[in-house]
């Protein structure tokens, strides 16, 4: 790897950093992105993105990610595969460890996103996007007049299940032990329980997600110690998000209680010259459209930072 000081290094190549790279490279700011898995992040493995502005019929997540990638590369962004495992300061320069080698940069944008926590049962990974989902606002509309299973008894589980009531004919809400959602959410849910549209199953552990012809058809579970099967057209898992910030351990970058990166209104972290945008940022809305908008905002803040950096040099 080139050990000279790069202008901008972006960690992650999801929608937020790709959008940021479009803005920086259009202004002739040398920009390198490092991605350890799929370019496009969670968007790239989403079957259909139905709520991204400008696509009235929706768009395949992989296609949208490909468009963003091509646009960034058209303006000169360098996208490389590499696993970032550390970040540190060295004077005014940031040092990023990529696949064991050190890369120096004037500015770093962290846009590594978050990953959905998995329940780790057979069928979950294999049926992702074919009946297993982690985003109600993204995929709920595919289940009009269908039966659903929702897994999770916390705030996110109840919030997403409430959203799904506008589509599904019935929802079985599986709660591993007891409900931990807020009183307000439980109150809002009660009217759907009373109407029979939602059935809450306490002390229920999901064991397996079943499919026929590659599509989800049922969930096997253990309820109060006894086996039970729920027939369903889809499964939505809401047991939390896991921010991709493990590589920041010991870096000094300030995180919130959930492990998301704290930033200023200008999207700068507590480390000078290090910015964060998208789903990895504390306060993010976890939507592709807003991640792209934050990427653009971060790019503008980065440009201003570089102007000050170069004047001081």
Q: What is the pLDDT of residues 189-228, one digit of tens each?
A: 999 999 999 999 999 999 999 999 999 999 999 999 999 9
Which pLDDT belongs to residue 1?
45
118: part of which helix (H) or strand (E)?
none
Predicted pLDDT of residue 167 = 97
Q: Are strands 5-11 and 101-110 parallel, antiparallel or unpaired?
A: parallel
**What is the torsional sign of CA 305, 307, 308, 312?**
positive
What confidence score (pLDDT) does residue 114 get? Answer: 87
Give the Cα separation of 202 and 204 in Å (integer). 5
DSSP sequence for the chain:
---SEEEEEEE--SHHHHHHHHHHHHTT--EEEEESS-TTHHHHT-SEE-SSTT-TT-EEHHHHHHHHHHHHHHTT-EEEE--EEEEEEETTEEEEEETTEEEEEEEEEE---EEEPP---TTTTTTBTTTEES-HHHHGGGGTT-EEEEE--SHHHHHHHHHHTTT-SEEEEE-SSS--S-HHHHHHHHHHHHHTSEEEESSEEEEEEEEETTEEEEEEEEETTEEEEEE-SEEEE-S-EEES-GGGTTS---B-TTSPBP--TTSB-SSTTEEE-GGGBTT----HHHHHHHHHHHHHHHHHHHHHHHHH-
Summarised one tens digit per residue, pLDDT across range 242-293 is 899 999 999 999 999 989 999 999 999 999 999 999 999 999 988 899 999 9
Q: What is the pLDDT of residue 3?
A: 57
* Rounded Cα distance, 209 and 274, in Å: 42
Please answer whether residues 52 and 67 qualify as being in contact, where contact means their C-beta atoms are separated by less than 8 angstroms.
no
List, for the chain, all residue ranges whose pLDDT scores fall below the cut of 70: 1-3, 47
| Predicted pLDDT at 61 | 86
pLDDT at 155: 87
Q: Which pair of tokens denotes residue 39?
A: 């370019």
Q: Phi first, then psi: what are they for 68, rounded to 5°?
A: -60, -40
pTM confidence score:
0.73
The domains of the chain, with CATH numbers, are 5-115+241-312 (3.50.50.60), 118-237 (3.50.50.60)
């Amino acid at each position: 790897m080139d050990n000279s000081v790069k202008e901008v290094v972006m960690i992650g190549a999801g929608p937020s950093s790709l959008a940021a790279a479009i803005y920086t490279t259009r202004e002739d700011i040398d920009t390198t992105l490092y991605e350890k898995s799929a370019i496009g992040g969670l968007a790239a493995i989403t079957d259909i993105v139905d709520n991204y502005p400008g696509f009235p019929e929706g768009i395949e997540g992989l296609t949208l990610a490909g468009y963003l990638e091509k646009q960034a590369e058209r303006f000169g962004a360098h996208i490389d595969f590499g696993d970032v495992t550390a970040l540190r300061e060295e004077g005014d320069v940031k040092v990023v460890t990529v696949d064991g080698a050190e890369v120096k940069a004037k500015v770093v944008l962290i846009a590594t996103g978050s990953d959905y926590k998995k329940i780790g049962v057979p069928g979950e990974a294999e049926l992702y996007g074919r009946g297993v989902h982690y985003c109600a606002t993204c995929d709920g509309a595919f289940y009009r007049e269908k039966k659903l299973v929702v897994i999770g008894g916390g705030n996110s589980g109840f919030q997403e299940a409430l959203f799904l009531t506008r589509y599904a004919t019935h929802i079985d809400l599986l709660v591993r032990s007891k409900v931990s959602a807020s009183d307000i959410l439980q109150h809002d849910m009660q009217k759907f329980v009373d109407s029979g549209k939602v059935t809450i199953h306490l002390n229920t552990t999901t064991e397996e997600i079943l499919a026929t012809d590659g599509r989800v058809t049922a969930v096997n579970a253990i309820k109060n110690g006894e086996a039970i099967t729920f027939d369903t057209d889809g499964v939505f898992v809401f047991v939390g998000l896991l921010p991709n910030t493990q590589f920041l351990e010991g870096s000094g970058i300030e995180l919130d209680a959930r492990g998301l990166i704290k930033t200023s209104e200008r999207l700068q972290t507590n480390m000078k010259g290090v910015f964060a945008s998208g789903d990895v940022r504390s306060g993010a809305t976890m939507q592709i459209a807003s991640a792209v908008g934050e990427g653009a905002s971060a790019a503008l803040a980065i440009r201003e930072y570089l102007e000050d950096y170069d004047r001081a040099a």
